[in-house]
Each structure stands twice: as structure tokens, then as C-alpha cells.
Chains A and B, each alone.
Chain A
Amino acid sequence: MAVKKFPVEYTHIMMFARSVGDENPIYHDEEYAKNTEVGGIIAPPTFTQASAQFDPDFFLRPKAGKPWLGSVKNPTGTPPKPKTEGEKKEGGGGGLHAEQHFEYHRPLRPGDVLSVTVKPGKKWEKEGKRSGKLKFSETISEYRDQKGELVVTARGVGVVTERVVEQK
């Protein structure tokens, strides 16, 4: 997922903060923010996750006129091909987010224009108690500002489970 241009904007920060239930005025009130140590509105610590909005090909965003994974008249708009015997045994499962790590070099502010470079990291496997074989893979995303300076480094770990996670 390469994102060439991720403009950090006031309204997006305000709405993102609301979506994580955070009413801290540092995320929406310019008057308040002016008189704080950071001196202006900043973005919450997990805000870079919203770079998906600026990835033209992000696969988990419905596109006009294209079939979509989610329900329509039927439970899914993209029915899977009939499963092979092996796949039937494996059952459901799918991709989940296992870990997320951030390193912050400075806070993000409205007006910043970020670019993101993504590189693959390690891959490993583990036997899970509740979801069968787990396949992990790491992605490292570097967020740079308009001056080319590194502002946030993000390391995500995704996991593909063999079957749906059993509930305790």
C-alpha cells in the first residue's frame, strides 16, 4: 500500500478523534490548542492508520460500480468459488490484525502532507489454540512529511487464521 499524498486536515482529525471516543479539545479546538505545550491542533496517536483513505487501490473500500465483499441482497456481493474438499475442512478464517507498533518522531498537524512508503518485513508461522495454523506477516510503513522528514514509523503484523477464531 503506497500512498503518495496524505494531506493531514483539521476535519479529518476531528472526526477520527470522535471515532475513537476521544473528546480531548487538542484534536478540534484551535483556541484551546494555541495555549498548550504543542501550540496547536495535533492528530491522535493512531491517526496514520487513516492513510488507507488516500490509497487509490485500498481493497477494503467499496468502489462505485464494482462488486463488493459485503452484503447486498445476498450476504455477500462476491460469492466465493465452490470450495475444494481441503478448503471445506479448513472452514472460515481469514485475515486479522495481530499487532501494531508506532514510533513517533513528532506530532502530526493539520497542513502536513505525508507520503508513505511501505516495505514487507518478516514472515512466520505458529500453531494457534483457537484458530489453527497462524501465518503472520509484517509490513513497515514510513510516513514522511512535506520536507521529506520521517515523522512516524509504523510496523503492522497481519495474521491469516486457518479457521474462525473460537470464542471463549
Chain B
Amino acid sequence: MPLSAKKLKVGDTHSEKVVEDLHRTQLVMYSGTSGDYNPLHSDEIFSTKVAGYPSVFAHGMLSMGLTGKMLTNYVGDGRLTRYGVRFSTQVWPGDDLTATATVEAIREEGGKHYVDLVISTRNQKDQEVINGYATARIDP
């Protein structure tokens, strides 16, 4: 169900747990579909022994994709006009991520209605892994 300008107010939030106990295999799946086969995300030996990280870690774009699920569940399919993020902390196997959108503004432009959202995705330690924004077209 698309959002409606009449029913929304600034400060409204929508939150979803977008991944629980992130599996290494999920990183392999994302490498396979996105085409980003960087061994940092799938090759534990390379990531630890050559790159010096504690383990493989998630593609930033996987975290953005997981966060995008919360967003499209909230605003509806095909309604996004903008979506942008900063990756602030790496995401590791075993992490739980909760993504939240907060209504920042509800506005009308050229006879169309839009909602501006602030986005924050946090891990189980309450560290922010993604912060960003999105805009979606909404019903009057």
C-alpha cells in the first residue's frame, strides 16, 4: 500500500529487522548476482591473511540492498525517486541489522506528493552501519 500525504506526519518511523545472523553464504550469493567477486567478501583466507581483516565482511551494496527492502516495504514498489547512503561501519558475518526510515518532510511539487526520509541501519551493538536518505512519491 502506497503511503498517503494525509496520513503521514514528520517524525513517523518505520523499522524492520532486515537480516538476522548474517551468513557468509549470503555474501557469496551477493557476489554472484552483483558480479562483485572481491575476495574480501567471500574468501576468508585472503581477507584475514592478505588484507588483514578479522574475517570476510559484507559488500557495502549488500547492506544498502538489505536496507532497500525496508524502504520499498514502507513506501511501496516503484515509488522511490532517490535513495542514497554512506557506509559508516563494516558489516560482519553473524551481524543482525535493523533498518529505520524516519519522515523528515512531506511536500508537494508540480502537483505530486513526496515524502523525504532519513535512513539509519544499525547492528546488534547499536552501531550505525548505514546512514542515508530517500524520497518517494506518495498518494495525496
Contacts and interface: CB of A to CB of B under 8 A. Distances in A.
A164 B51 contact: yes
B54 A167 contact: yes
Main secondary structure of the interface of A (DSSP, over half): loop
A165 interface: yes
B34 A92 contact: no
Interface residues of B, number: 50
A36 B78 CA distance: 10
B51 A92 contact: yes
Contacts of B68: 20, 22, 44-46
Contacts of A26: 77
Contact of B2 (A22, A37, A44, A97): A37
A84 interface: no
Nearest to B125: A168
A16 interface: yes
A71 B43 CA distance: 7
B34 A16 contact: yes
Nearest to B45: A71
Contacts of B53: 164
A102 B136 CA distance: 12
A102 B77 contact: no
B83 to A, nearest CB: 5
A49 B66 contact: no
B107 interface: no
A117 interface: no
B26 A104 contact: no
B33 A19 contact: yes
Given A60-B38, A76-B50, A98-B87, A22 B33 contact: no
Given A70-B39, A101-B84, A20 B77 contact: no
Interface centre among A22, A55, A98, A107 (most CB of B within 10 A): A22
Interface residues of A, number: 52
A52 interface: yes
Given A97-B61, A100-B84, A102-B83, A75 B46 contact: yes
Interface of B: 2, 18-19, 26, 29-30, 32-39, 42-43, 45-46, 49-54, 59-62, 64-66, 68-69, 71-73, 76-78, 80-87, 89-90, 127
11 contacts: A20-B69, A38-B78, A60-B36, A60-B37, A61-B35, A68-B39, A97-B87, A101-B83, A101-B85, A164-B51, A167-B90
Given A19-B34, A36-B77, A38-B77, 18 more contacts: A12-B33, A18-B29, A19-B29, A20-B66, A22-B68, A37-B77, A44-B68, A49-B36, A50-B33, A50-B35, A70-B42, A70-B43, A97-B87, A99-B85, A100-B84, A100-B87, A102-B84, A155-B84
